[in-house]
Structure 1
Amino acid sequence: MAHIDYYFATLSPFAYLAGTRLEEVAARTGATITYKPLDIVALFGRTGGTPPKDRHPSRQAYRAQDLPRQARKLGMELTLKPAHWPTNPAPSSYAIIAAQKAGGGDLGALCHGILRACWAEEKDIAEDAVVRECLTAAGFDPSLVDSGLLVGAETYAANLEEAVERGVFGAPFYLVDSGESFWGQDKLDDLEAHLKGEL
């Protein structure tokens, strides 16, 4: 059975646009997933990337065209300039890490719920109340917001170090135990083809 390490950021619009397609790919191929939220701005700094606000105007202009275009293609709502972006991604990331450890809910739904809260619902995912709502909706204990702080902080930092060591440089990023890597929500079809032995 194949395994996918999924590196992503709860502030990433491209992780949002992935929707629940990774989970659908895993269900069709029998693959398992480990969710590894990380600090994308720190990752950029370590791997030669540039935060969106610091990019050349032509890159910013292209991003402003491409994000809505991809959302339309996928039939997803998207606010190009969310009211609460950027915000502190740590609380939502810690909750995902704690939920993964605790089990009992739908982790894919939790991740997408948090991303949707930011990119389609104009909510601040740094607020505990918002994260609690997402935990509850995905079938997790909302008190994980509080109880998962320590392990969440430690794992969040470790995810960044691990990502740098393993050649991850953006989000969403999918690493398969075969050694193959796939960067971007637009590579999910390629990921599935690889898992099926077709690519």
Structure 2
Amino acid sequence: MAHIDYFFATLSPYAYLAGTRLEEIAARHGATITYKPLDILALFARTGGTPPGERHPNRQAYRAQELIRQAKKADLPFNLKPAHWPTNMAPSSYAIIAAQNAGGGDLGRLCHAILRSVWAEDKDVAQDDVIRACLSEAGFDPGLADSGLLIGAETYARTLDEAVDRGVFGAPFYAVDSGQVFWGQDRLDDLDAHLAGKL
């Protein structure tokens, strides 16, 4: 059975545009997923990336067009300039880590609810009430928003180090236990093909 380590950021528009395709692909191939939220800005700093707001205007203009195109292709509602972006990624990331440790809910649904909150609903995912609502929607105890802070913080820091060590430089990033890695939601078809033994 294949395993996928899924590195992503709770503010990443491209992670949002992946929708639930990762979960659908994993289910089709009997693969398991470990969700690994990380600090994407810190990852950029350590791997030679540039935060979106600091990129050349040409790159920013292309990104704006591409995000809208990708949202249409994915048939997902999308706000190019969300009201609460950027915001603190840590609280929502800690909640995902706590939920994964606790079990009992749908992690893919939780991640998508958090990302949807940013990119389609103009909500601030640094706020406890938003995180609690996402936890509840995905079948988790909303109290995990408070109880998982210490372990969440420790895991979040370790995940950044792990990501750098494993060649991760962006989000979403899918690392299969076969050694193959895939960057971006537009590589999910390649991940699917790899798990099917075609790539």
Q: TM-score range by the shorter chain?
A: over 0.9
Is 1:145 equivalent to 2:145 in the alignment?
Answer: yes
Aligned to 1:83: 83
TM-score of the pair, normalised by structure 2: 1.00
Q: Distance in 1 between matches of 2:61 and 2:42?
A: 23
Q: Which amino acid aligns with 2:9?
A: A
Q: Secondary structure at the match of 1:169?
A: coil
Aligned to 1:106: 106
Aligned to 1:178: 178
Q: Distance in 1 between matches of 2:176 and 2:185?
A: 15
Using the TM superposition, give the Cα deviation of residue 121 of structure 1 relative to its aligned residue in structure 2, in angstroms.
0.2
Using the TM superposition, give the Cα deviation of residue 131 of structure 1 relative to its aligned residue in structure 2, in angstroms.
0.2
Runs of 4+ in 1 over 2 A off after TM superposition: none
Aligned to 2:5: 5
Q: Distance in 2 between matches of 1:83 and 1:54?
A: 19
Q: Distance in 2 between matches of 1:113 and 1:17?
A: 12
Using the TM superposition, give the Cα deviation of residue 177 of structure 1 relative to its aligned residue in structure 2, in angstroms.
0.3
Q: Secondary structure at the match of 1:7?
A: strand
Q: Distance in 1 between matches of 2:113 and 2:106?
A: 10
Aligned to 1:16: 16
Aligned to 2:50: 50
Q: Aligned ranges for residues 53-72 of structure 1 at < 5 Å? A: 53-72=53-72
Is 1:133 equivalent to 2:133 in the alignment?
Answer: yes
Using the TM superposition, give the Cα deviation of residue 74 of structure 1 relative to its aligned residue in structure 2, in angstroms.
1.0
Q: Secondary structure at the match of 1:193?
A: helix
Is 1:189 equivalent to 2:175 in the alignment?
Answer: no
What is the percent sequence identity of the aligned residues?
Answer: 77
Count of residues paired in the alignment? 199
Listed one character per residue, the Cα deviations across residues 132-156 of structure 1 (whole Å, up to 9, x for unaligned) are 0000000000000110000000000
Q: Distance in 1 between matches of 2:160 and 2:106?
A: 24
Query: Structure 2, unaligned stretches of length 5 or more?
Result: none
Using the TM superposition, give the Cα deviation of residue 111 of structure 1 relative to its aligned residue in structure 2, in angstroms.
0.2
Listed one character per residue, the Cα deviations across residues 113-171 of structure 1 (whole Å, up to 9, x for unaligned) are 00000000000000000000000000000000110000000000000000000000000
TM-score of the pair, normalised by structure 1: 1.00
Q: Distance in 2 between matches of 1:157 and 1:17?
A: 25
Q: Which amino acid aligns with 1:133?
A: A
Q: Distance in 1 between matches of 2:144 and 2:64?
A: 35
Query: Structure 1, unaligned stretches of length 5 or more?
Result: none
Listed one character per residue, the Cα deviations across residues 22-64 of structure 1 (whole Å, up to 9, x for unaligned) are 0000000000000000000000000000000000000000011
Q: Distance in 2 between matches of 1:26 and 1:73?
A: 21
Q: Which amino acid aligns with 1:59?
A: R
Q: Secondary structure at the match of 2:161?
A: helix
Using the TM superposition, give the Cα deviation of residue 193 of structure 1 relative to its aligned residue in structure 2, in angstroms.
0.4
Q: Which amino acid aligns with 1:68?
A: I
Aligned to 1:165: 165
Using the TM superposition, give the Cα deviation of residue 17 of structure 1 relative to its aligned residue in structure 2, in angstroms.
0.2
Q: Which amino acid aligns with 1:193?
A: A
